[in-house]
Amino acid sequence: MATILSRRLSLLICLAAIIAAALWFRINGITAHPFWLDEAYSAYAADKGFGFIFNVLPSYETHPPFYSAILSAWAGVFGNSIAAFRSLGLFAGLLLFPLCWVTANEVARALKFDSRLFALAALALLAVSPSIVYITKLVRPYALMSLAYLLGIWCVFVLARRYRETKQLEVKPWLGYLTSLALIIWLHNLGALYAVALGLTLLILVGPVSFIRNHLRSFFIGHFLVALVVLPAFLMLLDQAPTWQQSAWLRFSWGGVGLSLYTIYGLSGFGAFAISALMIGNAIFKTGKSKRLVWLGLFTLAFLPMLLSLLATVTIVPVFLSRTLAPLSVVFVLVLAAATAAPSILNRVGFLAMLLLTSIEMVAIQKLPPTENWYSAVAWLKSHMAPGDVIYAYPNEGALPLSYALRDKGITLPIRPIPGPVPANDPTGWFPTGSRGVVSLPQYRLEAIAADAQSRKTRTVWLLRLGASTYDKNDGFLNALSRTRRIIGHWNQNPIDIIGLRQSPQVTPREQAKP
């Protein structure tokens, strides 16, 4: 009895330490950084409401509107402050822990490993995983994608176990699996890659021939229903694909793949990669041939979506992006936990080394500056702007994160998005980055805006350019404004560029207009 109580006490202490670390890394500084551009897009759509989300958003957003709808509903209950918006990702990130616990137990049963050690190792690694902590703090769909993916993984392993035991297709995990497919596709346009990995892993674990032969009707009806549910999302993607393919802003280089993989799987560098590779290789060797299909299933879940995204990137359009593949880190946590639970002292030592390296990396990441320093931009603008001045945001999307940063600081400054609020509606423009929400304008339109009635009445224009080399090539709008204005201030922290231009009785030469 005393031994049982001691084991339970030890388990509770370990769980308490894991939960404390998880909460610290996820809550610490969650509102310290402003929304960056993509987060501001999410908040903007959520603030506009369901009518905008389902009628307007699909006209310019490349991803399905489901996440924005969830975020809008969440904001309706908890408010639209930066803390409220970010709390959705935090909530989803914390739900990963009980789901990871039950999933780890299922995988442990499949491998015949110590389920308690397996689950504790998985939770400990999940608590300090840099990629998971990062997406938990984002106002983007990635934390919810991780939750949907892990739900699917759990259902797949339960289905496989029950099928081995009874040769029957258990209804609840089957419905859970189908639900996870639909959810992950509706949450992101790359969700189909995760869905393929889930479906293939199910066939690997249960045996494709016997499973399809015995349950052909259920297999095809279930997946057909999923296809019907996700069809609207697929049609939205088809509508957006030509514009995205022609003008996608992403640029791919094989030289950056290694660093991206470290980021995706939450590895702190080559040392962590080498330790994890040795642990996994040793665990597979210790497991024996009878469990190789389980390892193959885990590898399919962890790596197939990444490989498919690389294939799509080199053959169709760049889609290989670290944060969109970060949910794979949840599976990699399970793989490392499986390696830890293998009967090997070497792997236990490797686990401790991985935990230490990842924790150190996580502490360092907590100290990094914001992706886009909008709070500093707001402070600079406040100290330089006078009554009657106006901020001209070109491209128009720059107004989104700036507006939220101003709101967070309780400051009101006039902003004019050029040519108008997102989504832009100017037939003369084009889409340099593949998004229909933001355009570049021809020079004659920029000249007309620089000389229109509002511009003539504005003494000082503060030109905000976000990615000037993409949208304002050759300083087209800057030169147009400079014809009757002179530069009085300049602030730049890449990619944010702000230039103050005050009306002048004399025309400033174009050469002098450039900061």
> What's the pLDDT tens digit per position in 228-242?
999 999 998 888 777
Distance CA 193, CA 470 (A): 30
Estimate the share of the chain in helix, then strand, then coil, as percent rounded to the nearest 5.
70, 5, 25
DSSP state of 188: -
- Is 392 a residue whose pLDDT tops 90? yes
Percentage, residues of the chain above pLDDT 70: 95
Angle at 436 between CA 434 and CA 441, to 5 degrees: 90
Instruction: Write the pLDDT tens digit of every residue in 158-215.
Output: 999 999 888 888 999 999 999 999 999 999 999 999 999 999 999 999 988 878 888 8
Structure tokens of 279? 């642990």
pTM: predicted TM-score of the whole model, two decimal places: 0.94
Q: Which residue has the higher pLDDT, 85 or 511?
A: 85
pLDDT at res. 2: 57
pLDDT at res. 172: 95
Instruction: Write the pLDDT tens digit of every residue in 262-314.
Output: 999 999 889 999 999 999 999 999 887 878 999 999 999 999 999 999 999 88
- Is 248 a residue whose pLDDT tops 90? no
Query: Cβ(203)–Cβ(211) under 8 Å?
Result: yes
pLDDT level of residue 467 (50, 70, 90 thresholds): confident
Distance CA 463, CA 514 (A): 12
Instruction: Write the pLDDT tens digit of every residue in 336-382.
Output: 999 999 988 999 999 999 999 999 999 998 888 998 999 999 999 99
Burial of 63 (0-12, 13-18, 19+ CB in 10 A): buried
pLDDT level of residue 6 (50, 70, 90 thresholds): low
Q: How many CA atoms lie within 13 A of 207 on its CB side?
A: 12
DSSP for 143-182, please give it: HHHHHHHHHHHHHHHHHHHHHHHHSS--HHHHHHHHHHHH
Distance CA 340, CA 351 (A): 6
Q: Which residue has the higher pLDDT, 54 or 367?
A: 54
Task: Find all residues with CB under 8 Å of 324, minimum gap 6, and list them.
Answer: 142, 188, 190, 309
pLDDT level of residue 449 (50, 70, 90 thresholds): very high
Q: Which residue has the higher pLDDT, 414 or 245?
A: 414
pLDDT at res. 250: 64
Distance CA 41, CA 456 (A): 31
Distance CA 38, CA 40 (A): 5
Distance CA 451, CA 399 (A): 21
Q: Which long-range contacts (CB under 8 A, 24 or more apart) does 192-199 make?
A: 193/304, 193/305, 193/308, 193/309, 194/145, 194/149, 194/152, 194/305, 194/327, 195/226, 196/304, 196/305, 196/308, 197/300, 197/301, 197/304, 197/305, 198/149, 198/152, 198/153, 198/156, 198/301, 199/223
13-22, 96-105, 122-131, 331-340: which range is least confident on average?
A: 13-22
pLDDT level of residue 249 (50, 70, 90 thresholds): low
Task: Find all residues with CB under 8 Å of 481, minimum gap 6, and list them.
Answer: 392, 450, 455, 461, 463, 501
Per the listing, tokens 């990963």 go with 96
